[in-house]
A = this chain, B = another copy of it.
Amino acid sequence: MNIGRASQESGVSAKMIRHYEAIGLMARARRTDGGYRIYSANDIHTLQFIRRARELGFSMKQIERLLGLWRNRRRASADVRRVAQQHIDDLQARIEKLESMRRSLQQLVQHCHGDDRPDCPILDDLAGEVSWQ
């Protein structure tokens, strides 16, 4: 199976498949005489694993760790859960940061006339003047 086919089957772009190889996330692929990469059903499964992990927002480093645990039949599920829980905490922190931004902006927007006049609490806030309260 060449890289185009592997890309279709796994849902990972050819570009990213090469990238995963370059950063050592996947083993170097076997090649045809002409230099084309060759993939097996097993490789597709790995690529699907990576894709799903990316969909859940895991970083490449975490995915490397998860792949290692996946391949190790003597893993402890506690180790897997620890990685996942860490990621949940990361996500939560990012969500809170974004929500704090959104709340602040929502406040400002609510107090902005939004018409032809120039005075605007949003600009006032950015300029360091708190005008609307």
Size range of the chain A interface in the assembly: 35 or more
Q: How far apart are the CA atoms of A69 and B72 in the complex, in Å?
A: 58
Considering only CB atoms, which chain B residue lies closest to A81 in the complex? B114
Would you call the interface of chain A mostly helix, strand, loop, or mixed?
helix
A128: B residues at CB distance < 8 A: 45, 48-49, 52
Q: Is A85 an interface position by the 8 A CB rule? A: yes
Q: Is A115 an interface position by the 8 A CB rule? A: yes
Q: How far apart are the CA atoms of A53 and B101 in the complex, in Å?
A: 10
Q: Are B112 and A102 in contact (CB under 8 A)?
A: no
Q: Is A123 an interface position by the 8 A CB rule? A: yes
Q: Are B70 and A127 in contact (CB under 8 A)?
A: yes
A110-133 residues at the B interface, CB under 8 angstroms: 112-120, 122-123, 125-128
Q: Are B77 and A126 in contact (CB under 8 A)?
A: no
Min CB distance A132 to B, Å, is 12
Known: A105-B56, A105-B88. A76 touches B126 (CB 8 A): no
Min CB distance A53 to B, Å, is 5
Binding site for B on A (CB under 8 A): 45, 48-49, 52-53, 55-57, 66, 69-70, 72-78, 80-82, 84-85, 87-88, 91-92, 94-95, 98-99, 101-102, 104-106, 108-109, 112-120, 122-123, 125-128
